[in-house]
Structure 1
Amino acid sequence: MRKWLSTVAVSTAVLTFASTSAMACGEDDMPGAKPAAQAKIAGAPDAVKNVKLLANLPEAQGAISISFLQYGWRDVMMVSGQFGLKAYDLANPAKPKLVGELNIPGMWETENTEVDQHRKLVFLSRDPRAFGGNTHTGESGIYVVDARRPEKLSVLSFVDVPAGHTTSCINDCQFLWTGGPAKADNQPAEWGGRPIWVTDVRDPKHPKVNPNPIELARNDGKTDYVHDVQVDSQGVAWASGRGGVRGYWTNGVHRDPVTGKFRRATANNPVPYAGGKISELTAPSTFMHNSYRPPGTNLLYITEESFNDGCATDGVLVIASLKGSFNGEGWRSTPQQPFRLTSVSSWGVAGQEGSDPASDDCSAHYFDVNGHVLVQSFYSQGTRFLDVSDPTNPRQIAYYRPADAKSWQPVWHRGLVYVADNVRGVDVLKLGA
């Protein structure tokens, strides 16, 4: 079959791109942040248990995020990264076939790329560090990509947004919530990072950005860095960042626990639901990277992203209880009267079987859950599979840590795990030897 590749010149910034390696997901001024493309210590052996590698896609080196689009019977994987966007046909799920590309060399970072299944759109976040920029003055925003034909990916529009580290679908991708990274020079000095801006993409060719940010005062009353947003099975949008995780209704009529009154929730004016800051005893950095609420529970699975000397104090997976946070406690927390969620358990790679003691690039990163098995990226410490059937005691049941690992995001799809690895490209894994 003939393979058609679409190369698109997106902006003049692409043409003047100055090469740079990606940093870890945090800010460029975050102490200890690691370059995403930094290789592991030479000579470190592979460590694999109960996992089979089915395929590796090295042409996707620089991969950051993975998502999937269905076209009737056809299944397509979208891989975003520093290169832009690549489309892979999954007629054989174990052997993805590259069928289309949107070349945007120098993108930073396209983390948490999301797709609109109905309209076949892909939303790429442009961090201000893209194309050699920086968090102080660089341009940030969102590319809306037309993926109706995976072989002919094209940019429908680009819109400037005052945030751009991640962007997430809200209300069936009619709106986007975009957050992070560190604040720009023209933003309020008292902010610790960028909050969320809302973009109306009901007309994807003409996105409209609400000038008024939301999810303010999240860190004991201080506006701070919102890193990522994930929507649970009930429709609650969970905003993770420095200062914990807070959930919002974005549709329907709900009681606002902060005011005690019922009102209609919208993407631009959401209604608080639950959540709050994580105990510093569990997550000393308080920088919560992303989260997931298992259906039918009052638990949150949360990544703390943090880099320090040695693995022992790097970021961990945290499981916390939402109990005690449903009356607006997380919105009234102050340094003088702090509110903290109760931690149920935590898990990190330090000292675990399969870990490389010579590497200190060990922070927890994105994860995905399938039943009682959670799969999570830990950068140079690879991809770990945990049994979370007992949330108070997560247990490692398998791992995949090649010597050159830089595991960024694992995603379950049709029984397999597709891993965006910033050095290796994409690995296709099967749990069970």
Structure 2
Amino acid sequence: MRTWLRSCFAAVTVSATLVATGLPAAACGEDDKPAVPAARTPGDPGAIKNVKAVGNVPDAAGAISINFLDYGRRDVMVVSGEFGLKVYDLTKDPAAPKLVGQVSLPGLWETEDTEVDQNRKLVFLSRDPRAYGGTTHTGESGIYVVDVSKPEAPAILSYVKVPAGHTTSCVDGCRYLWTGGPAKADDQPADWGGRPIWVTDVRDPKHPKVNPQPIELARNDGKTDYVHDVQVDDDGVAWVSGRGGVRGYWTSGIHRDPLTNKVRRATAHEPVPYAGGGIAETAAPSRFMHNSFHPAGHRVGDGAWRGQDLIYATEENFVDGCAGDGVLTISSLAGSYHGEGWRSTPEKPFRLQSVGTWGVNGQEGSDPASDDCSAHYFDVRGKILVQSFYAQGTRFLDVSDPTNPRQIAYYRPGDASAWAPYWHGKYVYVADNARGVDILQLTK
């Protein structure tokens, strides 16, 4: 198992002082050449503060994404990676997951942010075009729909080809899927900077139907570009992250369309813009936003921006050393509710106001010898945000004042390759591509 794979994007140089990337392009997902191992200090024992490591699942080595399913009296964790899908029972001891079932698909590519349908007990697993030895140029992409109604016997219900395949996300209550990324295929328009979103109807999961017309076009100052991932907030707004920023859409209900000023019904195929736009270059020089979180219905923080509508997003970017690597960004959505983010052009760019940022470079607990420092997936509970930073491990931040995120705890094993942390019960489960699943408990 390659423990050094990075998430997939391509950095864009936005100023003469920035180097787009200090690594082969494959480290950013735009090329098909092998990436290089993350830099590590020989014998590095790692670092830990205000966190207790309560368990580890080594047979999940290669883990990229984690999700949880509630079966009433059973608590189940599903883990995806290049091995396919593994199913663990947490009921007896959530610190010692028990492997009960799996779908073996060796040769997949990453499977970032695999999502589940809690009600129908389905898992939606993306097939990136680089799976099974393919390439971004000509490889096949699609979606596996996996039935986990019986955790001991997960089974593939269907597979459908889709013109995108890096990540697949549920929208509109998992009745539809939005699939985006990675770099464009050879048979896609030459002026695209990456793949946008294709919509798949999974109301009948045995017979998914893909709409041939993509959506979320012209997202990067008028240019169609790489959509990386989608997160849906508690109000049902789907937030689309990628090159060019973060934009939110209604996918159901009746709403006023700010681009036409007409009231219409939002659907997964014809969503209604809500808010969002480009992230300020001063906060995220690459403007490649990996994933996001919108605290709908509640505030994350109580500081200087009390009551302000904020969007939290990760910039994923790799340059020489850590200083320019991707950071957590916090931006205000003020001034973006009238379609400003959809009217942005290179001549008249629209950018969200930056509120705060946080990066791992130079922080307590970091390994100064490693250059594998980009921000990656994160999860929020109350005022505590937990985030993965690859070789720099898992970081816990107090974001009660979004203008000044503060690190309060960290867990960085010497061999860390942390991709994504998840709050679940009293623990945080970390998908670590090298270590499997680490189970952590915040002690402060």
State the 1:295 CA deviation: 2.5
Distance 1:161 1:27 in 2: 19
Structure 2 equivalent of residue 364 of structure 1: 375
Question: Percent identity over the alignment?
Answer: 71
Q: Is the 8 A contact 1:39 1:405 kept in 2?
A: no
C-alpha distance after superposition, 1:305-349 (max 9, x if no partner): 001111110000000000000000000000000000000000000
State the 1:292 CA deviation: 0.2
C-alpha distance after superposition, 1:95-121 (max 9, x if no partner): 111111111111112111000111100
Q: Is the 8 A contact 1:24 1:36 kept in 2?
A: no
Q: 1:22 to 1:381 in 2, by over 3 A?
A: closer
1:390 to 392, 395, 401: 401
Equivalent position amino acid for 1:262 in 2: V
Distance 1:182 1:240 in 2: 15
Structure 2 equivalent of residue 50 of structure 1: 50
Q: Is the 8 A contact 1:193 1:225 kept in 2?
A: yes
Q: TM-score, normalised by structure 1?
A: 0.94
Following superposition of structure 1 onto structure 2, how do residues 20-419 of structure 1 map, counting pairs within 5 Å?
Answer: 23-27=5-9, 31=21, 32=23, 34=27, 35=35, 38=38, 40-91=40-91, 92-296=93-297, 298-419=309-430
Distance 1:275 1:21 in 2: 34
Q: 1:94 to 1:349 in 2, by over 3 A?
A: same
Q: Which runs of 5+ in 1 are unaligned?
A: 1-18
Distance 1:402 1:318 in 2: 25
Distance 1:265 1:152 in 2: 37
Equivalent position amino acid for 1:149 in 2: K
Equivalent position amino acid for 2:109 in 1: W
Distance 1:40 1:155 in 2: 38
Structure 1 equivalent of residue 302 of structure 2: none
State the 1:206 CA deviation: 0.5
Aligned length: 415
Distance 2:37 2:104 in 1: 19
Distance 1:275 1:212 in 2: 23
State the 1:37 CA deviation: 6.8
Distance 1:216 1:415 in 2: 40
- DSSP 3-state at the match of 2:292: strand
Equivalent position amino acid for 1:143 in 2: Y
C-alpha distance after superposition, 1:21-64 (max 9, x if no partner): 77311248984354497573322221000001111111111100
Q: Which runs of 5+ in 2 are unaligned?
A: 13-20, 28-34, 300-308
Equivalent position amino acid for 1:332 in 2: R
Distance 1:418 1:138 in 2: 32
State the 1:370 CA deviation: 0.5
Q: 1:179 to 1:74 in 2, by over 3 A?
A: same
Distance 1:201 1:235 in 2: 18
Structure 1 equivalent of residue 305 of structure 2: none
RMSD: 1.5
- After the TM superposition, which segments of 4 or more aligned residues of structure 1 sit over 4 Å from their partners? 19-22, 35-39
